[in-house]
Amino acid sequence: MLLDSRLVPQTIISPRSFVGLMSVYESNYLRLLHLIPDLVQIDGCYRSRVAGDCDLHVAIMERSRYTITLTLTYYFQTDEGQVADPDMLVRAYLDGQQAEAISLGRKHRHIEFQRLVREQGRELGARWDHNMVLNKWLDYLIDQGHLILDR
């Protein structure tokens, strides 16, 4: 993808390594900026609507000088009520230009998310899995045309 052209190629060659994980964080940040161009300024809750896809809900949970913590999710109505899935908590490091998936909700409607959560092992592996999910989901959201702009 065009966004990845800003990354140093040799950092991408070590999957599941610390260096590879940092490269994914950088890639996540670029995708997050593409999705939310005003990331540094926005605050509150937002929704992006595009034809043919679920509404994307974004909420800024915490903001500090160097970090922004936000949620990205779709909401589904089920027999049990409203379910957020994937319910992803993301922390963007403004000074380091990285974005990390902090958590991926516990209850998932999608089989692929369920499989990824089940297979997580060591901490590095778990972080890799969460951030690869974030990376691919951000790609999907951008491809669908989602865009979060300040009100």
Which two three-digit tokens encode residue 31? Answer: 């995708």
- 63-112, pLDDT tens digit by residue? 999 999 999 998 888 888 888 777 899 999 999 999 999 987 655 556 66
3-class secondary structure, 47: strand
pTM value is 0.74
Select from 22, 129, 26 the least CA-distant residue to 86. 129
CA–CA gap between residue 46 and residue 61 (Å, rounded): 12
Which position has the token pair 């989602």? 146
